[in-house]
């Protein structure tokens, strides 16, 4: 029963954020989207010529993924923990809505496919890590943080960063080459 309530709450904050992101991109960013070279076919084709991103890219991924997560973890142990789930879920959904809209406007359904494929491999790890923290925040004080949760969260984050740095570029290159 508690699990169903958590899923409903997550969905209740995800869907409005996603729809607002789509509306925002369509109403307020239309000219910016057209003018930018984000998802430009020529740039994407140049991406396929890069052989390896290497360890520098991995360090970049570690930096951009760990800093927000560490901030989330720090806030999860403060009095505002109950506000984190709506903010993080709605904000993430807004970003997803904007990015999918930009991809669709720039290169159509290929862009949506490309954007989706570019996040799914690492999201298999990132989403459970974030959910563990957010569910802890929602269910506090009936649920407590444990060492097992810490090990799980750190482990799947590291695996997700490895996947994002080394596997996702290979998948994206093979998809772009098919175009």
What's the predicted TM-score (pTM) here?
A: 0.83
Is residue 175 over pLDDT 90?
A: no
Q: How far apart are CA 85 and CA 122, in angstroms?
A: 20
Identify the pLDDT of residue 37: 73
For the stretch 128-174, pLDDT in tens is 999 999 988 888 888 888 999 999 999 999 999 999 988 988 888 88
> Phi and psi for 142 in degrees, rounded to 5?
-70, -25
Higher pLDDT residue, 123 or 138?
123
Residues 67-90 have a mean pLDDT of 90
- Distant-in-sequence contacts of 59-65, Cβ < 8 A, 24+ apart: 61/161, 61/164, 61/165, 62/161, 65/126, 65/157, 65/160, 65/161, 65/164
Mean pLDDT over all residues of the chain?
A: 87
Is residue 1 over pLDDT 60?
A: no
For the stretch 33-78, pLDDT in tens is 777 777 777 777 776 666 666 788 889 999 999 999 999 999 988 8
For the stretch 93-105, pLDDT in tens is 999 999 999 888 8
> Phi and psi for 50 in degrees, rounded to 5?
-75, 125
Q: How far apart are CA 29 and CA 65, in angstroms?
A: 26
CA 175 to each of CA 96, 132, 168: distance values in angstroms, whole numbers, following the listed order: 20, 32, 11
Q: How far apart are CA 30 and CA 150, in angstroms?
A: 42
């Amino acid at each position: 029963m508690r699990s169903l309530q958590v899923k409903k709450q997550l969905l209740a904050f995800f869907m409005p954020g996603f729809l607002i992101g789509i509306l925002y991109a369509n109403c307020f960013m239309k000219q910016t989207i057209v003018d930018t070279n984000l998802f430009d076919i020529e740039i994407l084709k140049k991406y396929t010529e890069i052989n390896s991103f290497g360890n520098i890219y991995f360090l970049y991924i570690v930096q951009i993924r760990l800093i927000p997560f560490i901030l989330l973890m720090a806030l999860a142990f403060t009095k505002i923990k109950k506000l984190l789930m709506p903010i993080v879920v709605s904000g993430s959904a807004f970003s997803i809505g904007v990015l999918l809209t930009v991809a669709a406007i720039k290169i159509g359904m290929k862009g949506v496919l490309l954007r989706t494929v570019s996040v799914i491999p690492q999201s298999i790890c990132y989403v459970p890590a974030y959910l563990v923290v957010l569910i802890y925040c929602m269910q506090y004080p009936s649920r407590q943080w444990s060492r097992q949760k810490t090990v799980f969260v750190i482990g799947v984050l590291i695996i997700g960063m490895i996947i994002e740095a080394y596997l996702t570029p290979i998948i994206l290159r093979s998809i772009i080459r098919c175009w």
